[in-house]
Amino acid sequence: MSGQHSTEVSSKFSRFTIIKGSYKKVGCHELRVDVMIPRTSLEGKGKRPVIARFHGGYLVLGDSLFPDWFPNWILDLAYKHAAIIVSPNYRLIPEATGLEVLDDIEDFWQWLHSPAVTDLLSNQSQWSQPLELDLERIITAGESAGGLLSIQTALSHADQIRVCTASYPVVDIEDPFFSTAFEKNILGTPQVPESVITDHIAKLVPGSVVSSAVPPERIQLMFGFVQQGRLLEFIQRGAISEEDIKKLIPMRRIEDDDAKLPVGGLFINHGIQDTAVPVAGSKKFIAKIQAVMKGKQGADNVTLTLQDGEHGYDAQTTLDEGWVQDGLTSVVSAWLE
């Protein structure tokens, strides 16, 4: 079971030329990466700034190019500044473990800084001069579980990233919302029975890899993991030490003596009425950064923007929206200075 799906490119991305590549191979399964190049005049502009963007889906489903979950304001931001978006798929749970997901993101990061990217871009014939990534000007972004991965990447590579952004991130993974079974009205979805999870697990083929799943595929499985309080369990599966567990939990990682953020800090936006990822998690994370990281790189430049809205409220939000402009002013300054 490969789990690799061909994704029809949506008209939402019509302003971009999309190059599909592979950054890693797991057995016979290639993990796809999408390089999104804005169709602006890039000639003579030198290296282009980078947005490393991670998709959401509770780590259970999703795809880099699933348009419904790709915020318009990120596309607008890239287009306005002629920046290149680089967005990977990664192995999904429960076929993978949380540690394997982090391994994929780390391998993606190494790929992003390797000659393979230069080769991928230089093989394109539509530009008279090869495009180049400005790896000195990277921001990270992601939504939901992708926001978690954006923050994880920023904690792992703070000195290689200008600023981290995250939309409604699944950052407080140890909260009972993700680890305890109780009635949860998530995006209006009725409670999914435990049997959906057990049936899926029973059918797993050892060594199977899934790295792309577009809704409605696996949607019941995704909600079931959270409603039945088993998301944390499957993220931590295979973690055999306290160090492993800490690696999976940003709330713990920021306690390390050597923890730091990108020099431009952290910008989080979250919907107040979010039923999929409680806003309390983002509030708790920001408060803890301010308490335990005071004086460390980036920790004095953390922002939480709260807006009325449900999970994914910003999917259709453009860069012209007031809260986006206000929130991104310092982000753009730190990114492009």
C-alpha–C-alpha distance, residues 337 and 318, integer Å: 23
Tell me which H or E stretch contains 257.
none
Q: Which two tokens stand for residue 98?
A: 């949380």
Q: Work out the burial of residue 182: count CB atoms within 10 Å of its CB; fewer than 13 is exposed, 13-18 middle, 19 or more buried.
A: exposed
How does DSSP classify residue 43?
A: T
Which of 144, 150, 167, 212 is labelled catalytic? 144
CA distances from 330 to 18, 84, 158 (A): 28, 20, 17
- Whether the Cβ atoms of residue 36 and residue 13 lie closer than 8 Å to each other: yes
- Whether the Cβ atoms of residue 310 and residue 187 lie closer than 8 Å to each other: yes
Amino acid at 299: A
Active site residue 14: no
Q: Which two tokens stand for residue 62?
A: 């999703």
- Whether the Cβ atoms of residue 149 and residue 170 lie closer than 8 Å to each other: no
CA-nearest of 112, 131, 113 to 123 is: 131
Please identify every residue annotated as catalytic.
144
